[in-house]
């Protein structure tokens, strides 16, 4: 009898623990599609480990805690970014932005885009090189922390946007295509204050196949 009671208790206790864990873990830290040292020397293993393992993990944890019991509890990430403000927006934005950022690189990256994205870039900026220059200039000119984006409107028209802090062009009805993180945490260990050097180097690891699919 006691054994049955204990088994029943264990079952109930485990179930409630499981559902609690599920709730807290709604959003999870995105897995990197490469080893933490694979992007060296453009991004060091140490920067990846802090940026992905510490900074992004904190945003994920904060978001999971903040949305509990709110109307965003069961919403997807893009909906939360579009409809929230304050701390929820800041953490959701940072999760979405970093998910896009970390998955657009590859140790075999670099070169130029192809297909319709390449054509649209040429049409808008004249050449890929001009686009790169303007993208870097936007990133260098962004005051404080934020993100520089290549974004597309519903007709596929491209633009470069600068977003402060956790901003993402989806809040303006645009589709995010490519982003460089210009928060100091993204480059300080490797480049110290030389944001421009980091932006220039990132082209060497952009996985254009991933980026083209977003367009
Ligand atoms: Fe970051």
pLDDT of residue 46: 98
Check whether 147 has a pLDDT greater than 70.
yes
Output the CA 31–ligand 1 centroid distance in Å: 15
Residue 25's pLDDT is 64
pLDDT at site 16:
46
pLDDT of residue 86: 98
CA angle 123, 102, 174 (to 5 degrees): 40
**Cα distances (Å, whole numbers) of residue 60 to 68, 86, 96:** 13, 15, 10
**pLDDT (average), residues 4-18:** 47
In tens, the pLDDT along 192-203 reads 999 999 999 999
138 Cα–ligand 1 center, Å: 17
Residue 58: pLDDT above 50?
A: yes
Query: Which runs of consecutive H residues, i.e. helices, occur in the chain?
Result: 2-24, 45-50, 57-67, 77-83, 86-102, 115-125, 128-141, 188-191, 195-202, 208-214
Residues of the chain with pLDDT > 70, as a percent, come to 88
For residues 59-88, give the mean pLDDT. 97
pTM of the model: 0.88
Report the share of the chain in percent with pLDDT over 90: 88
Question: In this structure, how many other beta carbons lie within 10 angstroms of the beta carbon of residue 94?
Answer: 25
Whether residue 62 is predicted with pLDDT greater than 70 in this model: the reply is yes
Q: Burial-class residue 204 by CB neighbours within 10 Å (0-12, 13-18, 19+).
A: middle
Sheet holding 158-164, edge to edge: 158-164, 146-152, 175-181
Q: How far is the CA of 48 from the centre of ligand 1 (A)?
A: 10
Ligand 1 center to 8 CA (angstroms): 46
Beta bridge partners of 150: 160, 178
Q: How far is 78 from 73, CA to CA, in rounded Å?
A: 13
52 neighbors 29 (Cβ within 8 angstroms): yes
Q: Say how far apart CA 179 and CA 140 lie, in whole Å.
A: 13
Average pLDDT along the chain: 92
Cis peptide before 41 (omega within 30 of 0): yes
* 38-55 average pLDDT score: 98
């Amino acid at each position: 009898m006691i054994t049955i009671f204990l088994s029943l208790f264990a079952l109930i206790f485990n179930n409630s623990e499981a559902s609690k864990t599920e709730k807290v873990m709604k959003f999870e830290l995105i897995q990197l599609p490469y080893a933490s040292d694979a992007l060296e020397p453009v991004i060091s293993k140490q920067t990846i480990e802090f940026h992905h393992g510490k900074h992004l993990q904190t945003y994920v944890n904060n978001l999971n805690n903040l949305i509990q019991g709110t109307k965003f509890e069961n919403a997807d990430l893009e909906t939360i970014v579009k409809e929230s403000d304050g701390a929820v927006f800041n953490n959701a934005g940072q999760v979405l932005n970093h998910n896009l950022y970390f998955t657009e690189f590859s140790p075999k990256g670099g070169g130029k885009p192809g297909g319709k994205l390449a054509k649209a870039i040429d049409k808008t900026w004249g050449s890929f090189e001009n686009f790169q220059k303007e993208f870097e200039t936007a990133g260098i000119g962004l005051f404080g922390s934020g993100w520089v984006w290549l974004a597309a409107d519903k007709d596929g028209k491209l633009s470069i946007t600068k977003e402060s802090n956790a901003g993402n062009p989806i809040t303006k009805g645009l589709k995010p295509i490519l982003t460089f993180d210009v928060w100091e945490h993204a480059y300080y260990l490797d480049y110290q204050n030389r944001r421009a050097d980091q932006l220039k180097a990132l082209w060497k690891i952009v996985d254009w196949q991933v980026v083209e699919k977003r367009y």
